[in-house]
Structure 1
Amino acid sequence: MTGTADPLALLVVDAANVVGSVPDGWWRDRRGAAEKLRDRLAARAADGGPQVAPGALEPPLAGPPEVVLVVEGAARGVAPVPGVRVVSADGSGDDGIVAEVSGRAPGRRCVVVTADRELRERVGALGAETVGPRSLLP
């Protein structure tokens, strides 16, 4: 499948958790850190390459996924860019992620990127797979 997204693949990224996994001063500019993550995801989407490290998923995604970045708090209002849909959670980011997972089409493969144990359990109960923040490719 070259140049087209796998219609069954949805990659939902927990922005706060992924940004918070690297102690690089993100807490001084949460919105800027979310935009940097968004841009990194968009660059990977533009080159058509995988978003998730080889071996992190079994089986691997069949093609480039639809990427959804869920932001919350001070990062709300981050604009979408080609290749990355941005969802500003009304309440908690976890609830926004659960809504994205539960709202997907029946049978659509879904992978959530987070290290949050409770969130992993919540989305797992909805049939989503999970990988940690370090599984995202640079």
Structure 2
Amino acid sequence: MTVLLVDVANVLGSRPDGWWRDRAGATARLLDRFAALRTSTLDGPDGAPVVVTALVAVVEGQARDVESPAGIRLVRAAGSGDDALAATAGELADGDDDVLVVTADRGLRARLPAAARVTGPGWLLAAADSVTGQDQAP
């Protein structure tokens, strides 16, 4: 049982598709794509199955006011998204589920609890493509 904790700004920024022209709109579309993952069994980054029990997404800046799709818990960072991600990872790591953090940010990775596993945005985007049957940029 795994909780996915997503660094939304980092995932969004991983594909240069013009998201910067409408950060809130691009974030909402990305979250809609991820909603299908919240009760899925995915091929994990290491090839082992990942049973997703919850999806927590950290949003910041202009994307802070987006609506949350059903089943996704949004953490709206009041300041630094990295601070909110590190704090949320700490809270989640104290629970019974495994925590898989999705970010490519090396500085953030160093701040995560030892119990948290980490993977990059490419894995999550490919997983969303496989579940939704789509191959599109966020």
Give the TM-score, by structure 1 length. Answer: 0.81
- Matches for 1:75-86 after TM superposition, within 5 Å: 75-86=63-74
1:3 aligned residue: none
Question: Within 5 Å, which residues of 2 pair with 1:9-88?
Answer: 9-45=2-38, 48-50=39-41, 54-57=43-46, 59-61=48-50, 63-88=51-76
Confirm or deny: 8 A CA contact 2:12 2:30 kept in the other structure: yes
Equivalent pair of 1:15/1:70 in contact (CA under 8 Å): yes
Residue 70 (structure 1) shift: 0.5
Separation of aligned partners in 2, 1:130 and 1:107: 17
1:57 is displaced (CA, Å) by 3.7
Residues 10-40 of structure 1 deviation map (CA, whole Å, 9 limit, x = unaligned)? 1100000000000000001111111111000
CA contact (8 A) 2:3 2:100 kept: yes
Instruction: Indicate the percent of aligned positions where both proteins have the same amino acid.
Output: 45
Partner residue, 2:104: 115
**Over aligned residues, Cα RMSD in angstroms?**
1.7
Higher strand share: 2
Query: Any gaps of 5 or more consecutive residues in structure 2?
Result: 130-138
Task: Return 5+ residue gaps in structure 1 as ranges.
Answer: 1-5
